[in-house]
Amino acid sequence: MTKLNATRRQFFGLAAGGAAALTVPQDLQAQVATKARIVIIGAGAGGTALANRLMKRLDGAEITLLDPRVQHLYQPGLSLVAAGLKPADYVTSLTADWLPSGVTLIPERAAAIDPEAKTVATDSGKALGYDFLVVAPGLVLDHDAIEGFSLDMVGQNGIGALYAGPDYAAKTWQAASKLTEEGGVGLFTRPETEMKCAGAPLKHTFLIDDIAKRAGNGGKIDVQYAAPQGALFGVPIVAEKVRMLFGDRGIDSHLRHTLKSIDAGAKRARFATPEGEVEMGYDYLHVVPPQRAPDVIRQSGLSWADKWTDQGWVECDKATLRHLRYPEIWALGDVAGVPKGKTAASVKWQVPVVEDGLVSAIAGTEPRETYNGYTSCPMITRVGRAMLVEFDYQNNLVPSFPGIIAPLEELWISWLMKEVALKATYNAMLRGRA
């Protein structure tokens, strides 16, 4: 064997140098000095990530966030909670813990926005003037739109509603687990409006079906999926794949079925269809209500006048997310009136665009970043497998790992990403580091 002649000191010196090289901070962009007043409505995924990034880019800006919620919700985890795979507290943390020092968090709701006078009024009547406004309040779940349904029913009599929050997601599992043990008809729905993570109703269907089959109760369940749209997913190539998977699992689909009302006592759900009303019985019903922009957006005149008029999403350029009539306003996250993009992954792509637009507006330079509609959905198809579906405005698949992770294959690695890496990446995004 060749003798190694390096001295101990040389060796450890080299090792220490290597370790030091690994910990050198990433190159930071030069800070822009400004006295701008920036108001961000909403401290969810978008608002928090943006605040962290702006603090790094701007020197001297006065950044104020408005959000009454004490809890921050990691919403991509709700479908895991609703399948009994994670506890409710898996998705909760404190809003304030994610915010950088130097920003002001006002724990109130935005009650009114005056885009002409450039002011935001809070619940308590405080008026905040702004030079730049970012609207990122999320969306509102319109549970009242389903006649006969209210949130206090969730968890009982076979009713689930996982979108409503961590506790409701846990109660959803209570109701759904009964189906997986005792069998019966599982009826899974989605709304006709735009919605956050359009894959989640499908994931819930796949997971509950798989858990029942794993428990040996596959012969006792009858899984039905009802959707108002004409396809199982908005992206045609993905819709086809889901159709094939449904066929493989024996899941029946009912397209152009819009859930209108339920009779919880009789366990019957009524749907509007092109052929008239249809009633279906269930032992377990998953309700996903219509989703809309918060009232304050619609009342302040920021919404599209000719698109999504029943939903009120913010009128903005789909590439820059800048408001089309008020150039000092940007929309971010669920509330943005763009054709896709109501997922946490989209927020990750949108935040740098809004950051670039805002910093460029302050610095008087041309923005360079644009949003292409990137939306991602680790579509869980069973416990232990998922498809990493990523697409853009044009319904093109835009895989992050082409040739390595096939987008339309059910893979373990895609499940691992959802299970292990997704929350970590999300948290890193919140801190402005991913």
Partner 1 sequence: MKDMTFGTLIAVFEEIFGRGVFWAMVFVALLVTLTYFYVLIRDRAISWQKFLLAQLSMPIGAIAAVWFVMVVTNSRLANLGGPIDLIVFLGVALGGAIGMAILVYTVQSLFSDPRRLGDKS
| 410 is an interface residue for partner 1 by CB under 8 A | yes
Q: Cβ closer to partner 1: 120 or 170?
A: 170
3-state SS class at 105: strand
The piece of 54-62, 136-144, 276-284, 426-434 that touches partner 1 (CB under 8 A) is 426-434
What is the C-alpha separation between 135 and 337, in angstroms, rounded?
11
Minimal distance, residue 295 CB to partner 1, in Å: 33
The piece of 43-51, 62-70, 102-110, 346-354 that touches partner 1 (CB under 8 A) is 346-354
| 352 is an interface residue for partner 1 by CB under 8 A | yes
The count of residues interacting with partner 1 (CB under 8 A) is 43
| 92 is an interface residue for partner 1 by CB under 8 A | no
Q: Cβ closer to partner 1: 129 or 402?
A: 402
What is the C-alpha separation between 373 and 41, in angstroms, rounded?
22
Q: Cβ closer to partner 1: 100 or 384?
A: 384
| 85 is an interface residue for partner 1 by CB under 8 A | yes
**358: Cβ–Cβ under 8 A, 6 or more apart, which residues?**
38, 54, 132, 134, 330
Minimal distance, residue 337 CB to partner 1, in Å: 22
| 53 is an interface residue for partner 1 by CB under 8 A | no
Contact residue for partner 1 among 9, 26, 30, 306 (CB under 8 A): 26
Give how far Cα 327 sits from Cα of 7, 64, 86, 324, 354, Å: 64, 19, 42, 7, 12
Q: Cβ closer to partner 1: 281 or 352?
A: 352
Q: Cβ closer to partner 1: 46 or 294?
A: 46
Give how far Cα 211 sits from Cα of 9, 181, 184, Å: 58, 9, 14
Q: Give the number of C-alpha atoms closer than 13 A to the C-alpha of residue 363, restricted to the C-beta side.
A: 16
CB atoms near residue 7 (< 10 Å):
9
Give how far Cα 13 sits from Cα of 3, 4, 24, Å: 20, 16, 17
Minimal distance, residue 155 CB to partner 1, in Å: 23
Using DSSP bridges, classify how beta strands 119-122 and 110-114 pair: parallel, antiparallel or unpaired. antiparallel
Give the residue from 386, 390, 366 showing the smallest Cα distance to 377: 390
Contact residue for partner 1 among 152, 250, 400, 402 (CB under 8 A): 400
| 299 is an interface residue for partner 1 by CB under 8 A | no
| 94 is an interface residue for partner 1 by CB under 8 A | no
The token duo for 159 is 């009713």
Contacts with partner 1, residue ranges (CB under 8 A)? 1, 3-4, 6, 8, 11-12, 15, 19, 25-26, 85, 348-349, 352, 374, 382-385, 400-401, 404-406, 409-413, 415-416, 419-421, 423-425, 427-428, 431, 433-434
